[in-house]
Amino acid sequence: MLELRSVSRSFNGTKVLKEVSFDVAPGRITGFVGANGSGKTTTMRIILGVLAAHGGTVRWRGQPITHPVRQRFGYMPEERGLYPKMKVAEQIVYLARLHGLSSGEAKRNTATLLDRLGLSARAEDPVEKLSLGNQQRVQICAALVHDPELLILDEPFSGLDPIAVENVLGVLREYAARGVPVLFSSHQLDLVERLCDDLVIISAGTIAASGSRQTLRTQHATPRFELVVETDAGWVRDQPGVTVVELDGARVVFDVASDAAAQPVLREAVSRGAVYSFGKVVPSLAEIFREVV
């Protein structure tokens, strides 16, 4: 478990992180979302020790993070970087060894990962000869090659083609399944929604919401319902205490004061004829995001 407690950080007197607290739990993929400049990258850099926190604590398994511990983290920075003239495999092996792996382990893990990400054929090419998408995959290899105990990925999907996205998604799920906590940031909310178990939403340096995806959806679910009937649903407008959000022939979406207040609408619908569908509308991540930030 990675725990951030009241982490703060300023640049030139401007506070960019204010009392940031959240957890990244083992075996769970935590999505970290927020607008540009909201503090995602700064937070990740503090976890990795690339930046110092000006206040608060970051703990891993209950202990402050020291250098040997941090060496076992996997990190993919937002600003990608590799040695352009170094060969793919050699580069990954080098990074693995910097993470403390023996030469044999480093080579084995590199071969496995390159194979996994479909890069085996390019192992002996210099990185600069690869397409941008493939360079991105090499970057992911660099973050994973030492079998990290914690994964911190800053925008891991940006620049990936759809096949590579699926590829990487699979790898991340695999790591989470092995009990590795995974924290990744993304502005592709649909991807975050599909992939993550937990969510942390940051806005202007403050955590606006955090928790499991399901909890957040329920928490931010307003009493909004969708009803589909056989004929025109226009009559719903005249129901007491109902605000129609959307009306499209036989389909209507409406807000009520509480969940209970929707039941009379359902009863009325049944009395008027066939009802094909009735249910509570759960907000999408994009909607929650818009609401909290």
Of the candidate residues 61, 84, 257, 290, the single one contacting another protein (CB under 8 A): 84
135 near another protein, judged by CB under 8 A: no
Residue length, the chain? 293
Pattern of binders to another protein over 180-219, x per CB under 8 A? x---------------------------------------
Residue whose structure tokens are 């407008």:
237
170 near another protein, judged by CB under 8 A: no
Residues 6+ apart with CB under 8 A from 85: 126, 127, 128
Return the sign of the alpha-carbon dihedral for residues 175, 181, 185, 190.
positive
Residues 98-127 that bind another protein (CB under 8 A): 98-102, 104-105, 107-116, 120-121, 123-124
Angstrom distances, CA of residue 11 to CA of 15, 16, 51:
6, 7, 11
Measured from the CB atom, is 101 or 269 closer to another protein?
101
178 near another protein, judged by CB under 8 A: yes
Helix (H, G, I), strand (E, B) or coil at 183: strand
The type of residue at 133 is G
Pattern of binders to another protein over 34-73, x per CB under 8 A? -------xx--x--xxxxx--------------xx-xxxx
Neighbouring-strand partners of residue 2: 24, 60
Tell me, by CB under 8 A, how many residues bind another protein.
Answer: 64
Measured from the CB atom, is 176 or 288 closer to another protein?
176
Helix (H, G, I), strand (E, B) or coil at 197: coil
Measured from the CB atom, is 67 or 240 closer to another protein?
67
Residues 146-165 that bind another protein (CB under 8 A): 146-147, 149
Q: Shortest approach of another protein to residue 210 CB, angstroms?
A: 21
CA separation for the pair 20, 186 (Å, rounded):
18
If residue 184 lies in a helix (H) or strand (E), which one and from where to where?
strand 182-185
Q: Shortest approach of another protein to residue 187 CB, angstroms?
A: 17
Helix residue ranges per DSSP H, the chain: 40-47, 67-70, 88-98, 103-116, 132-144, 162-177, 189-195, 213-219, 263-272, 285-292
Q: Shortest approach of another protein to residue 72 CB, angstroms?
A: 8
Residues forming contacts to another protein in the complex (CB under 8 A) are 11-12, 16, 41-42, 45, 48-52, 67-68, 70-73, 75, 77, 79-86, 89, 94-95, 97-102, 104-105, 107-116, 120-121, 123-124, 142, 144, 146-147, 149, 171, 174-175, 177-180
